[in-house]
Chains A and B, each alone.
Chain A
Amino acid sequence: MRSLMQQPFRTAVLVLVWGWLLFLVLAPNLLVVGASVATRDPVSFISLPLNLDAYRQLFDPLYLEVFLHSLYMAAMTTLVCLLIGYPFAWALSRVPGRRQLLLIFLLIVPFWTNSLVRTYALKLLLATNGLLNSALLGLGWIDEPLKMLYTEGAVVIGLVYLLLPFMILPLYSVFDDLRQELLLASHDLGAGRVATFFHVIVPLTLPGVLAGVMLVLLPAMGLFFVPDILGGSRNLLVGNVIKNQFLDARNWPFGAAASIVLTITMAFLMFAHKLSKQRIGEDGV
């Protein structure tokens, strides 16, 4: 090892990387944990004594309702993404050669484009006097404009629109790895299509499902600008609550506690993902 790069170089690199991560990842996260058990302070943001008030406040019926509603919208988003994405990824993995590459390219283009702009584009479509209503009225399918903007549905549509590629890509990857031979073996041993789907395809694509759920569910609770643009004031995400507490209400302990809820959800999902990968003999990251 020593021969490939000199020791001082190695030391410098490790100090730089560790320094960066400790200062900008570990320390801030510990700060948030600390803030969540501190007392709210209008001047210095947080102060002693330590207490669990912020966590108690999470269960305040008013906020509990907001959280549950946010969780519900995130769960709906995830479900819709999964229902659209699963067959999509399956079909995509069967597209021959070069065309498959092009289709994947088309799938990651949105990932590289400004998500605010894309959310705004949906607004153009969904508004009361927007294009979708005009089209439906023009076709005579409806008599008066539907109220689509500023509804729960609009938030879910917006989140699905932004997050669908994050569901599809991990699913595509597991379907791409799924060996055709295993499906043949299942048929060969007497299993029909339905039995093969549940006994072989589902368990083998489960890591992709969980990775997709992780990549969709968490942002679906955090992307506060989606309800801001599409949802109106009644369809808030956990992200909106955190943002309000930190930037407007200046209640850091409560905002921090809410963000820890997200972190715990993430830890739980990561653990499930790791387990599912170990089950099929891959070591989870």
Chain B
Amino acid sequence: MSRWLPRAYLTLVYLLLYVPIGILVLFSFNDSRSGYTWGGLSLRWYQSLFNNNAMVEAMWNSLWLALSAATVSTVIGALTALALHRYRFRGKKMLNGMLFVVMMSPEIVLAISLLALFLLVGIQLGYVSLLLAHVTFCLPFVVITVMARLSGFDERLPEAARDLGASDFTMTRTVLIPVIMPALLAGWLLGFTLSLDDVVVSTFVSGPSYEILPLRIYSMVRVGLKPEVNALGTLLLVFSLVMLMLSQWILSRSKR
């Protein structure tokens, strides 16, 4: 195979992936009202975005939800990963299997099952239901991130620490936690982003009392074009990019 053909092909696909995003970013600075024609540079859509009180509130709601969902799922996910790694217990395979199924299931299946649960149990649709739902779909991702880290980790390190006189608690603090720290941070960032971007599950389990950003965007883009969405999309893109780069940086630095 000649060399330029695969290269040209890779380039083409990346172009297809990035052209729409590029146009979105470009048009977020567009002064024109129509949304399709270029009318010069302007920050007016960013301005109108931040002047929109409902939008700003939804933004804060989303950030708070993502923050709490990422934190809770990281704590539970890390404990789960440690338990799966360290302990032998009955139903371990089933636990693994359930996490895998949660990860692979179509979001909509998870969404309606949680909606059914919340309505039948009587959990009010709002922050709590969103938190429970988001933690549930973030959990498997945190678990596999931490598990991957633990599986590459020398089983004898804790033993070595104990051998050198560290107590159980000291060993956990000085060996185990530092080893899984990068995975915890990466898992947290991933959970944060998944939560911030989720549309499908949130559509079902959120209520009028707690409006979040993706749903606000959803109601805006269903009909027509809203240039504010360009601005908002650009902000989200930059935000995600920073998060992803942070997570890659943490993971790659810890490999050395």
Contact = CB atoms under 8 A, between A and B. Distances in A.
Q: Is A–B contact present in the complex under a CB 8 A cutoff?
A: yes
Interface in B203-230: 203-204, 214, 217-218, 221-222, 225, 229-230
A219 B106 contact: yes
A161 B96 CA distance: 31
A180 interface: no
A13 interface: yes
Contacts of B55: none
A136 interface: no
Contact of A114 (B76, B112, B225, B236): B236
Interface string B87-116: 111010001101111101111111011111
Interface string B181-203: 00000000000010011011001
Interface residues of B, number: 83
A109 interface: yes
B253 interface: no
Nearest to B119: A45
Contact of B244 (A16, A29, A108, A127): A108
A120 B119 contact: no
Interface of A is mostly: helix
B126 interface: no
Given A31-B117, A224-B200, A242-B112, A118 B248 contact: no
A17 B109 contact: no
A127 B109 contact: no
A103 B6 CA distance: 13
Nearest to A160: B16
A21 B225 contact: no
A214 B104 contact: yes
A27 B106 contact: no
Given A10-B83, A117-B236, A25 B116 contact: no
A98 B36 CA distance: 39
Interface in A104-129: 105-110, 112-125, 127, 129
Contact of A32 (B91, B96, B116, B119): B116
Interface string B114-156: 1111011000000000001101100100000000000000000
Those 5 A-B pairs whose CB atoms lie nearest each other, nearest first: A28-B113, A117-B233, A91-B6, A121-B20, A222-B106
Interface of B: 6-7, 9-10, 13-14, 16-21, 23-24, 27, 35-36, 76, 79-80, 82-83, 86-89, 91, 95-96, 98-102, 104-110, 112-117, 119-120, 132-133, 135-136, 139, 158, 162, 168, 171-172, 193, 196-197, 199-200, 203-204, 214, 217-218, 221-222, 225, 229-230, 232-233, 236-237, 240-241, 243-244, 248
